[in-house]
Structure 1
Amino acid sequence: MTHVDDLAGELDRLLAAADAKLAARYPGDRGVRQPVHTVYVPADRYDAGTVGDWGSQARAALGDAPAGLTEALDLSADLGAELYERVRAKLEREPIEDLRIDFEDGYGTRPDEQEDAAAVDAARALAKTVKAGSATPYHGLRIKSLEAPSRRRGLRTLDLFVRELADADAITDGFVITQPKVTSVEQVEAMVVVLSTIERAYDLTAGSLPFEIQVETPQAILGPDGTALIARMISAGAGRVTGLHYGTYDYSASLGVAAAYQSMDHPVADHAKDVMQLAAAGTGVFVSDGSTNVLPVGDRDAVHAAWRLHFGLIRRSLARGIYQGWDMHPAQLPTRYAATYLFYREGLDTAGARLRAYVTGGNSGYLDEPATAAALAGYVLRGLECGAVDPAEVDKLIGVDTAGLAKLARRPVRS
C-alpha cells in the first residue's frame, strides 16, 4: 500500500490550495438559530414599546377563540385549536424574532436634521430594550443604499445609530445591518470598509458588525458581463455577510412586472431566489424570502383573504427550503406562526421515526444517508427553536436531546 500512501501525499500537496479555499468559502452551518421572519418598522414609528404593541395587536387579530383562524385557513377543528394555542403562546412570549428599524423605503427621504434625530432616538430605544432584556433575539437597522444619491445619508444614519448603541454598551450578537439595493460587488466591499472604520472609531471588536445583502436589483443577480454576482458578493463580505434577503417589489418592478402580478411566487422571484440559495449553500449565510403587501386589514372577509394568501406563500417558501420571510403588519404574525408551526408539526412524526431508526439502526422504511439524516435533524431543530415543537416530543420520538439533535444536524456548538 506504500504507493497509495505516496500518491495520497502527492494529492495533499496538489490540492492544498483548493482544500483551503473550499474550507474558507464553505464553512457550513454557523451554529446559530435562523429567525422565521424579519419585521420591518419605519424608524419614526419605533420605540421601546413597539414589540409589545405588535404582540398585543397580533393577539387581538388572532382573537379569543380558534374559530377565526380555523375558518380562514380551512383547518380541522382539532388542528385549528392546537395551532391557535401554540400561536397565541408565541405571540405572548416572543411575538417578533427579528426586528429591523427601517430608514430606507419604509421611512423615506426626510430633512437631515429629522433623520439624525430619528436615528438617535431609535438607537436609544433599542438600547433600552437590550438593557431591559426585552429586545428581540435579532435586531438592527436598514440604512439607505450606498448608491451615490443616498450614500452620505445612509452612512450618517449608520454612524449615529452605532455610536449610540456603542455608548450604551448595547451591541449584541443579535445585531445586524441590512444593506439595500446592492448593485455591485464593489458596494459589498465598500460596506466592509465602512463597518471596519466604524468599529475602530467606537472601539468595537473587529468583525462585530455583520450585515445582510438585500437582493432587489437585477444587477445583483446578473452582472454586466453575464455572470452571477451573489456568490462573489458573499466572498467580498469578508465573513460579515449573515443573510441574503429577497426584495419582492423592487426586484419585480425592475424587471417590468406589472404591479398586480408582483409577488413572492412570480417566476422572476423564483429564479432570483434559486440563485440566492445556490450561492448561499454551504456558506452559513441565511436566505430570506420577501413580503406580501396585501395586508390583513378591513372587514372579516378581507382579513381572512389576506391571511390565506400570506399563509399559502409562507408554506410555499418553507417547502422550497426558504425558512425566513418578511412581515410588515402585526396582523400578519398569526399566519406567520400558524404556517410555520404547521410545517414543522405535520412532518414531525415521520422525521422522528426516520431519525430514531438512523440513530438506533432500526427500520423506518427509508434508507437514509448521513446528508438526509442531517436534513431531518435540521428540520426538527428549526421546529424546536421557533416553538413549533417541544423538547419532550423530540426526546420521546427520537431519543436525543437538543445537543444530540444539533450534532445530527451538523451544527457546530458555539462556545
Structure 2
Amino acid sequence: MNNQRSFFFNVDWITVLIYLALCTIGWFNIHAAVYDETHPSIIDPATQYGKQFIWIIGGVVLGGVVLLLDSRFFSALTPVFYSVTLVLLVLVLVVGRNVGGNQAWIAIGTFRLQPSEFAKYSTCLLLARYLSSVNVKVTELKSLLIALMIIFVPMIMIKMQPDDGSTLVFCSLIFVLYREGLSANVLILAGIFIALFIFGLLMKPIYIIGAILIIAGTAIAIFRRNKKIILLTSAAMVLSIAFILTVPFIYTHIIKEHQRVRIDEWLGRASNLKGAGYNVNQSKIAIGSGKLWGKGYLQGTQTRFSFVPEQSTDFIFCTVGEEWGFAGSVTVVGLYLFLILRIIYLAERQRSPFSRIYGYGVACVIFFHFFINIGLTIGAVPVIGIPLPFVSYGGSSLWSFTLLLFTLIKLDSNRMGAINS
C-alpha cells in the first residue's frame, strides 16, 4: 500500500495533465479540420478524428504501462530499442509505403507505422546511456565522435527515405551535447555558418566578404597583443570567406529543387501563391482571420472549405488560429512553453546522469517540433513536413511522443532511487 501511494505522489501529474490537455486540443482541432457532415460523431472510427480518439486512448494506456515498468528497464534495454528501430528503418526502405514522395511508412493492416518517429525515442535513450557511462566526456574527441555517430546513423537512414523534416529533428540533439560539456563555440560557429548561408543567398558575395574583412580587421586591431585571438580570428575569416564562395554551388548542386523552391519562397526571392507559396499563404489567411477570439468551433471558413492542404497534420495550428483566434493560439503556445520548461526542470532535478541527459533529449525533440511546426504555419521558417506534438493527426507521432514524455515521467518518479547506466 505504501509503495502504491508513493508511486501515485511521485508521478509528476502536472506534466501528465499538460499531455492530456494537448491531446484533447489536438483531437477537437482534427475534428474541425476534416469535419464530415455525413460522419458528425467525433468518435466515429471511419474518420480521422475517430481514429485519433482511438490513438489517444491507446496513448494513455501506453503511458500507463510505461509508468508501471521498472525504471531500470529503459536503461537496460536501450541497445535493443535502438537496434530494433534501425532494423525498421532499413525495412521501410524495402517494403515501405510511399506517401507524398516519402517512403517512410510500413503498412500494418489499416495502421501505418512510421519508424522515424520511434527512432527519435531510441536515439535519446542510447545517447543518454552512452553519455552517462563512466569515463565518457564530450570534450574528448573519441567520446564526441561516438555520440555523433549515435545521432547520425538513424539520421542518415531517415534522409534516404527521404524525410527531411524528421532528419533535421536529430540536429536538435546537439544541445544535449552542449549541456554535457560541448563548447559553446561549436554552437556559435554553426549559427554563424547558417547566417552566412542565408546572407549568401540574399546578397552579392563581395559585400559579405567586405563585411567579414572589416569585422576581422577590427578584432585583430583590438586584440593585436593576443596571438591566440589573432590566429583564431584569421582562421575564422578564411573559413567564412571560403564558405561564402561555395554557397552558390551548395545551393545549386546539393540542395534539391523542391527545397530550393521552398527556401526561395521563404526568403522572398520568389513568390508563387498558386504554387510553392500556396500552403503558407492560405495558412496565414486562416490564422489572421481568427482575430482575437476566433470564428468559433467548426465555423472556420478556410478550414471548412479545405483551403489549406494537410490541415490535420503539418498545418493543424492554422485551425487553432482561425477558430480559436489569438487568445486560443497564445494558450496553445503557452502550454507548449510550460511543458518544455517543465521537462527541463524535471531533467535538472534528476540524481541520475542517465535521466538528466534523457530529459534534455526529450526537451530538444519536442521544442524543435513545436518551433518548426508553428513557424512554418506563419511563414517564419521554410515549409518542412513535421507534426505538432500531441496535436497533429497520426498514431505513430502520438505514440512516439507519448513514449518520450512518459519515460521521463517514470524516471523522474524514481529519482530518489537514481539509476546508473
Instruction: Name the structure where strand makes up a greater proportion of residues.
Output: 1
* Structure with bigger RCO (C-alpha 8 Å, 6+ apart): 2
Which TM-score applies when normalising by structure 2? 0.24
Instruction: Name the structure where helix makes up a greater proportion of residues.
Output: 2
Which TM-score applies when normalising by structure 1? 0.24
